[in-house]
Structure 1
Amino acid sequence: MTSTSVPSPASARFATPTRRARTLRPAVVTAALAVVLTSCGSSSDPAGTSGSGHATTRAVSTAHGKVTVPAHPRRIVSVHSWSTETLFDLGLKPVGVEDGGANYVPPRYLKGWKATAKVTTGADIDYEKIASLKPDLIVGVDVPYLSKAYKKLSAIAPTAFSSFNDNSGWTEFPDATATFVNRTAQLAKLKKEYTERISAVRDTNRSALTKSTWDVVQGGFDSGNYWIYSPDSAVGDILGKLGVRFASATSSVAAGKTRSVSYERADLLRDADYVIYYTNNDGSPANDIQKLFALKTFKSLPAAKDGHLVGTADFLPGSYRDAMGVVDSIEAALKQKQG
């Protein structure tokens, strides 16, 4: 049996890149740079303004320092799911997106995602495809494999990545993406909607929420193990805002970490009234967590016997709509109990 503390994953959708990244040929770099100069107007307009005096570019803070981006980007490529989802939330249609697997795309984004060109599968980035889309802006999150690709991507178009570290709150990603694409006013409306949704569900279900204990788990990528998340994880943050108490397994995990434990240690979840876990977008358990659920020891736990297993496709929220999806899943589970 194993029990180890591991860093919180950047995204289970991109947990294990399996193919080598393509290299960018010199001809592609030359063509890409031409796109950048044309889109930003830097060759003829050093001030970044149009003939009418309106700014055509703006400087934004990114994980790689200040970057000059179009004031109103029109051809955006997103190389990370969290950026993609916020673009959709803001009413934008990217010309290229990541491909982390259709089963991991939350249902609300699936139609738009399917209709958009795919430019990367984890660390396998198709630079030529990105250049062919003639982006005027590339957005993403500075997870390790994208950080390594930053220079090649920025040779194609201005590239703006949100910072990423083990202590990043999930709200950092939509906030940064909205800033990059100049849609902070639209994001403010989503934030307000989210805050009101949290308040409404908390007030309506106050007794059930404050009296119940919750553990947060996901099928792991360590053979024979599952992951227990901390209270400061993305889902933990949402549960905390709803006023729940955490059961001992989740409450014992340090901030910014997950705990990888053997399936044989299902007993660690014994004092949880509810267990919330990651699902595919069709509702089926994701990342082999069903192996835990199938164990006799797990089936004997109070949460399992009471039917208090709460699955959500929004387990790794990177957008405000994702976060509201988590709230929806929690509310539905509480209503089922009351029913």
Structure 2
Amino acid sequence: MTAVPSPATPSPAPSPAVPGAPAARRVRRRLSAVLAAAALAAVLTACGSSAADGTGGKDSATRAVTTAHGTVRVPDRPLRIVSVHSWTTESLFDLGLKPVGVENSGATYVPPRYLPSWKAAAKVTTGADIDYEKIAALKPDLIVGVDVPYLSKAYQKLSAIAPTAFTSFRDNSTWTEFPEATARFVNRTTQLAALKKEYGDRIAAVRKTYGAKLAASHWDVIQGGFDTGNYWIYSSASPVGEILTQLGAGFASASASVGKGATKSVSYERTDLLHDADHLVYYTNNDGSPANDIGKLFALDGFKRLPAARGHRVVGTPDFLPGSYRDAMGVVDSVEAALRGERG
């Protein structure tokens, strides 16, 4: 999944009328534009009327759910779901659902387990650029997402198309909140309970095998930054940090010094900040290659001299920003594989 939302793409300016064009042609163009606008308005109005009472269909049963924008009535068994954020998308896949529309987070960032399902769905957003007409054409009976700032601004337009349920988003949100809310929105709490048990069993199994090694080790969590010339250090309370804590791992000084829910942006040259880490966890693309320019850090001599680098204890995972239970299990799998294959 992408680490930050892409900026909105500005709409192209309308083409000016060609000087000297016949009046009839200009009239036809204006009439076509008016008819197109009217058609879209009709679609939105029609969808909005069903969204207003939350039915998504005349005979559909509905129920009330709590969302970031208050109580919303949603279909009891939604059949045509559009997801506008990767975290809700991946939880839908975990819960055995196939959304008809999803966000375009870029195939490189989609964890491999979700890639075929993600590719099969229509793409309706690219970051903050939301294709409302395409979403309306998909005739969703439910729209789900996360209330990040750019989606929060779009909420009214989306809720005019279909009942829209966003899970809250805060600086100190934990990754478990997103699958919990998604399961409530789509009435799949039984399936969620099975996922939670599977995750708990994985945590317990890895602790049983590697608990002593994890307890004696110190980990830092890093990502290639979006600030020119800098990389990011994540706190022990970050999503990956939470999972490491559940596994019983300790933290080195870099991650331990970052405030809860925060990141610290530091120069690539500051490899010394990672000097006491036994292990480093970083973000990879779904093909295993380093994501977000973290390779610039790895190429530095100062990094190569670090104990974690010399000991081949640099752990990559495509699930670095988990928003679903299988994402989180992917982090556990990456940690376990690194411990199993560790040299020395």
TM-score (norm 1): 0.90
SS of equivalent to 2:233 = strand
Deviations 1:296-332 (A, max 9, x none): 0000000001111100000000000000000000000
Matched, 1:171 2:176: yes
Quote the residue 1:78 is aligned against: 83
Quote the residue 1:28 is aligned against: 40
Asked which structure has the greater RCO (Cα within 8 Å, sep 6+), the reply is 1
Deviations 1:235-292 (A, max 9, x none): 0000000000000000000012100000010110000000000000000000000000
Structure 1 residue ranges without an equivalent (≥5): 1-10
Per-residue deviation at 1:17? 1.5
Per-residue deviation at 1:29? 4.0
Give the distance between the partners of 2:91 and 2:38, measured in 1 at CA.
33
Give the distance between the partners of 1:334 and 1:300, measured in 2 at CA.
20
* RMSD, aligned CA: 2.2
Matched, 1:208 2:213: yes
Question: Would you say the 8 A contact 2:109–2:285 is kept in 1?
Answer: yes
Deviations 1:74-93 (A, max 9, x none): 00000000000000001101
Matched, 1:99 2:104: yes
Structure 2 residue ranges without an equivalent (≥5): 13-35
Give the distance between the partners of 1:112 and 1:261, measured in 2 at CA.
37
Q: Larger Rg: 1 or 2?
A: 2
Quote the residue 1:8 is aligned against: none
Give the distance between the partners of 2:123 and 2:199, measured in 1 at CA.
30
One-letter amino acid of the counterpart of residue 299, structure 1: K
Deviations 1:194-217 (A, max 9, x none): 011101101110111011110000
Matched, 1:280 2:285: yes
Give the distance between the partners of 2:99 and 2:176, measured in 1 at CA.
20
Question: Would you say the 8 A contact 2:83–2:101 is kept in 1?
Answer: yes
| Aligned pair partner of 2:6 in 3, 16, 30 | 16
SS of equivalent to 2:178 = helix
One-letter amino acid of the counterpart of residue 301, structure 2: K
Query: Following superposition of structure 1 onto structure 2, how do residues 90-129 of structure 1 map, counting pairs within 5 Å?
Result: 90-129=95-134
One-letter amino acid of the counterpart of residue 316, structure 1: L
One-letter amino acid of the counterpart of residue 6, structure 2: T
Deviations 1:108-129 (A, max 9, x none): 0000001110000000000000
Quote the residue 1:146 is aligned against: 151
Query: Following superposition of structure 1 onto structure 2, how do residues 145-294 of structure 1 map, counting pairs within 5 Å?
Result: 145-294=150-299
Aligned residue pairs total 322
Give the distance between the partners of 1:42 and 1:154, measured in 2 at CA.
10
Per-residue deviation at 1:16? 3.5
Question: Would you say the 8 A contact 1:40–1:69 is kept in 2?
Answer: no
One-letter amino acid of the counterpart of residue 266, structure 1: T
Give the distance between the partners of 1:15 and 1:156, measured in 2 at CA.
23
SS of equivalent to 2:342 = helix
Quote the residue 1:310 is aligned against: 315
Question: Would you say the 8 A contact 1:13–1:100 is kept in 2?
Answer: no
One-letter amino acid of the counterpart of residue 284, structure 1: S
One-letter amino acid of the counterpart of residue 127, structure 2: G
Question: Would you say the 8 A contact 2:2–2:106 is kept in 1?
Answer: no
Q: CA 1:192–1:21 in 2, change beyond 3 Å: closer, same or farther? A: farther
Query: Following superposition of structure 1 onto structure 2, how do residues 2-13 of structure 1 map, counting pairs within 5 Å?
Result: 12-13=2-3
Give the distance between the partners of 2:11 and 2:192, measured in 1 at CA.
33
Matched, 1:136 2:141: yes
Q: CA 1:15–1:41 in 2, change beyond 3 Å: closer, same or farther? A: closer
Deviations 1:125-152 (A, max 9, x none): 0000000000000000000100011011
Quote the residue 2:31 is aligned against: none
Quote the residue 1:298 is aligned against: 303
Question: Would you say the 8 A contact 1:13–1:101 is kept in 2?
Answer: no
SS of equivalent to 1:264 = coil
